[in-house]
Structure 1
């Protein structure tokens, strides 16, 4: 892996997430991956991540992340600031969250860890 590849893999993850095709998102994760969100907590292993993401996309079926720039932090890590916009499925309430996401990849290019720091909970 190199810096450019880490940034491109992060961009691909967001692109697939924005298409809402989770069957394209989950293969990007290492089976032992971890995901920590300052808002939702820690998820360990692909099964927990899959359950969390499936529930999240059900609750926010129109969710969309806007990212202006992907930064390669090292050969295996990329980060980006995001703005997430969505409507809650049950209440219709609009949600806007801004934050910083950092993704670390394995040598094979799979997601090893995602760290999400929400700056503005909605």
Structure 2
């Protein structure tokens, strides 16, 4: 199992989210981290990503329910509402960059998933 530690310095505040096994491969979950809705995803290859969960176009907290896939070299999630694709590494909205979301630090330690807000 691997984790993608974005902004992973010891000075960040890491929040315990759930057990690694609580997130099935190719799915996401939503967590509330410091009053922010965060979508945490697990790829088929056991990489973990975290981005804001609120779809900026609709304002609904739904990105964790989107479909995970690839567009070229990018790992993305498609919003279940407007089908915009968000790069899971950067939070960039590929169709409309002005609708991009924040990407957050995520890591797996001791069988647990932890998130640090960017």
Place the TM-score, normalised by the shorter chain, in its bin: 0.3 to 0.5
Query: Which has a greater percent of strand?
Result: 1
Structure with the largest fraction of helix: 1
Q: TM-score, normalised by structure 2?
A: 0.32
TM-score when normalising by structure 1 = 0.32
Which is greater in Rg?
A: 1
